Amino acid sequence: MLQFAGQDLTNYFPQPMISACPGLVTNDQLFLMNANFTPQVAYAVHTSGALQTTPGTKLNDANWYTNDLQAALLPRLKGDYVFTKGQVSDLADNSGK
């Protein structure tokens, strides 16, 4: 897990298109491939829904992304993760006031 520390792991958790675009996508075999992403650890990609190749796991559920992953991450969202250089500078300059 240390190799992932501090990184944006969004691409390691691809959402099934059938759940990302309900009513628009009806083929559960359809997926999008990220053009600029090569996983550092291939087995860390959490493919869910019909494209999950390991049978008998929670990842086989097409709704795992929305029902389980997003639900688990929601309480951990605390606010902005990215600050501009100016914001950091202002915080440093005004921290004692």
- What is d(CA 84, CA 82) in angstroms, rounded to the nearest whole number? 7
Band of the pLDDT at 84, cuts 50, 70, 90?
Answer: confident
Summarised one tens digit per residue, pLDDT across range 6-62 is 888 888 999 999 988 989 999 999 988 888 888 888 889 999 999 999 999 999 998
Q: How close are the terminal C-alpha atoms of the chain, in Å?
A: 39
What is the pTM (predicted TM-score) of this model? 0.67
**Domain spans of the chain, in order of start:** 2-93
What amino acid is encoded at 40 in this protein? Q
Label residue 3 left, alpha or beta by phi (over 0 means left) and psi (-120 to 50 means alpha): alpha
* Residues 50, 61 contacting (CB under 8 angstroms): no
